[in-house]
Amino acid sequence: MNTVTSIRVGEHTIGRGNPVYVIAEIGINHNGDINIAKKLIDVAVEAGCQ
């Protein structure tokens, strides 16, 4: 049985021995307010999301 130990997302390798990769998900947490959506994006970027 083959076991995948890492995967690639764009230019990033995800797996043991690599930096943590965080994916920010907003969904409808902005309640339709564009200003809240932009703030959520800004906070995600500040947290290191790309």
For 2-46, write each residue's pLDDT tens digit.
Answer: 888 999 999 999 999 998 888 888 888 899 999 999 999 999 999
The residues spanned by each domain of the chain are 19-50
pLDDT-based confidence at residue 50 (cuts at 50, 70, 90): confident
Q: pLDDT value at position 49? A: 81
Q: pLDDT value at position 20? A: 87
Q: Is 35 left (phi over 0), alpha (psi -120 to 50) or beta?
A: alpha
CB 15 within 8 A of CB 6: yes
Q: pLDDT value at position 41? A: 92
pLDDT-based confidence at residue 1 (cuts at 50, 70, 90): confident
CA distances from 50 to 4, 10, 28, 31, 39 (A): 24, 11, 20, 23, 15
